Structure formats: structure tokens, C-alpha cells
Amino acid sequence: MPLCTLHLLALHNTTPNPLSTFLSTLRSSTAEPLVVSRVIRWIILPTKISTEHLLARNIAWDVLLILPSTDNLPSDVQKLVQHQWSVTAGVPSRLVKDFSMTNKKLLHPDPASVPPLSSPNEKKATTQSSQDLELSAELNEWIDNFVSHTGSEGRGAVSMFNLLAFNPGMKEEYLKYGAAFAKSIGSRHGGNAKIVGNVTGVNGKTEKLEGDWDEIALAHYPSIGHFRDMLTSKDYQEVNHRHRVGSLRDTCILMTSEMGVDEVMGKGGAKL
């Protein structure tokens, strides 16, 4: 099972456009990333694991970078990074093998293949918090604003970076959620777990320690609106609460946009 490293990066503000500088440097380097995605916001915050690295330093993460190796970042790229956190995971070879082609189809689909969104006039039922993967009033309002003011990034595909740690003996329960997600409750809204893997080490460690994250996942949605529609669907929440919520010791979800990278770099960047 190939090892992939997922890097969260916060960039130095030493150039007028740090993200553009980083992307052009990465493009010129020897790295061949699977995913380069702009970090947008937290959907679910971690509460127990890696909080001192992910949250406590008040770091504004800029980039999610997924490399199909455990190699260090190229030196020219590394010097642009102010803070970083990484997790290494074994990802099934069937996912890595043709990922570039599969991902291109997900990010730029045939419009006829994209599930329709609910009516914008339809009132969305909201909750007080999104920590259990429900639609909070704050998240709902933020999505409305994001869709209205961010152009193609607001209307285009999103990639949700998930970290998962299971309660003892509860992984099988979570797998029931995963199966339902793939069969109906997620796929009906265009959801696709395009990268999944078992954690083998965090922050450069070559072995998983007790109390670390267990799994990673990168879930695709055709848009943030499709993600919202999923959260507000009754059948999704039934499965979410029956199989997912109680199975997790800790989790977090970070919303990212590969379309955001496209916008910065323009079209035609073959390596990115």
C-alpha cells in the first residue's frame, strides 16, 4: 500500500502574493503532488488530538498538499513555509494509480452528471453547532456569503480533509457509515471519498503512536452547496447519528478548494 504524506502549510508573508509564489515554486520543483488545495475554513474542529499543532498557535493554514511519498518538501518549497503539520498514511494503490485522471473528472465534470441542488429559496433547518456534522446557523450563513462573493471557487468543487480517530471497538460501526455514504447518502449529493488511508505516522514519525489519528480521508463534493444539501437531508443525519457520531473519539474536517489553486495559477498547469 503506497505511503502518501498530507501536509498542512502556512506560508511566509514575504512576497506580495505568498500563495502564487508557493504554487509557481512548487510547479517548478521535482515534486509531483496528487493534490494541491487552498485551505478555506474549519467545518469541524479537533477537540483532543493534535490541537496544539492545528489550533492552539492560532495558525491560519494556507495549503493542503498531498504527495505520493514520504520525502521531505523540496528545499525551494520548504523555505516558503512558516508552519507545517503532516500526517503519513497508507493509501490503496487503486486510488493512487489513476488519481490525476479521476480527479480531473471530479473537478471539471460533465454538467449533466452533477446532482441538482435544492432550491435556494428552500429554508434550511439549522443547529447550534456543526461539530456533529450538522448544518449550524453560522455555517449556513457563511455558505450563503461564500457562494455569493467568491466566483467560481464558491460554485465549484470542494475537497473536505478529514482526520478520524475511533473509539475502541467502534471502527466497524464507522464502516457502516462509510458504506452508506458511498451507496446513497453521500453519493446522491455528489460526495466521493477520493482519497482514504490508514495513518502510519504524524509529523514525520515513522510509526503510529497510541492516541494518534487512525485514518485520513479527502472527500469531494461538486460544490459547498451540495455538501450543505447532504447535511440537511434526513436520511443522511439518521445514518450520521446512528453510525458515525458515536464511533469517533475525535475528528476534524477542513474545507479546501482545488479550484482556488486553479484560479491563482490559471488553467493549463500540467503538474498542478
Residue 272 lies in a domain: no
Residue 271 lies in a domain: no
Beta partners for residue 204, in sequence order: none
Q: Return mean pLDDT, the chain.
A: 94
**Is residue 264 a contact partner of residue 62, using CB atoms and an 8 Å limit?**
no
In the chain, count H helices and then E strands.
11, 8
Residue 86 lies in a domain: yes
CATH number at residue 8: 3.30.70.100
Residue 7 lies in a domain: yes
Beta-carbon contacts of 134 under 8 Å, excluding residues fewer than 6 positions away, are 126, 127, 231, 237, 240
Quick one: pLDDT at residue 269? 41
Beta-carbon contacts of 209 under 8 Å, excluding residues fewer than 6 positions away, are 202
Number of domains in the chain: 1
Quick one: pLDDT at residue 204? 83
Quick one: pLDDT at residue 107? 97
Residue 52 lies in a domain: yes
3-state secondary structure of 10: strand
3-state secondary structure of 145: helix
Quick one: pLDDT at residue 152? 82
The span from the CA of 19 to the CA of 81, in Å, is: 10
The span from the CA of 69 to the CA of 72, in Å, is: 9
Q: Which domain holds residue 39?
A: 3-110+124-265
**Is residue 124 a contact partner of residue 228, using CB atoms and an 8 Å limit?**
yes
Beta-carbon contacts of 260 under 8 Å, excluding residues fewer than 6 positions away, are 37, 38, 40, 153
Residue 94 lies in a domain: yes
Which of the four pLDDT bands, split at 50, 70 and 90, describes residue 263? confident
Fill in the DSSP letter of residue 203.
T
Residue 253 lies in a domain: yes
pLDDT in tens, 10-60: 999 988 899 999 999 999 999 999 999 999 999 999 999 999 999 988 899
How big is the chain, counted in residues? Answer: 272
**Is residue 4 a contact partner of residue 216, using CB atoms and an 8 Å limit?**
no
pLDDT higher than 80, residue 182: yes
Residue 135 lies in a domain: yes
Q: Which residue from 193, 194, 192, 185 is spatially nearest to 230, judged by alpha carbons?
A: 185
Which of the four pLDDT bands, split at 50, 70 and 90, describes residue 264? confident
Beta pairing, strands 3-11 & 35-44: unpaired
The span from the CA of 38 to the CA of 212, in Å, is: 25
171 grid coordinates? 471502527
pLDDT in tens, 117-140: 999 888 899 999 999 999 999 999
pLDDT higher than 50, residue 258: yes
pLDDT higher than 90, residue 193: yes
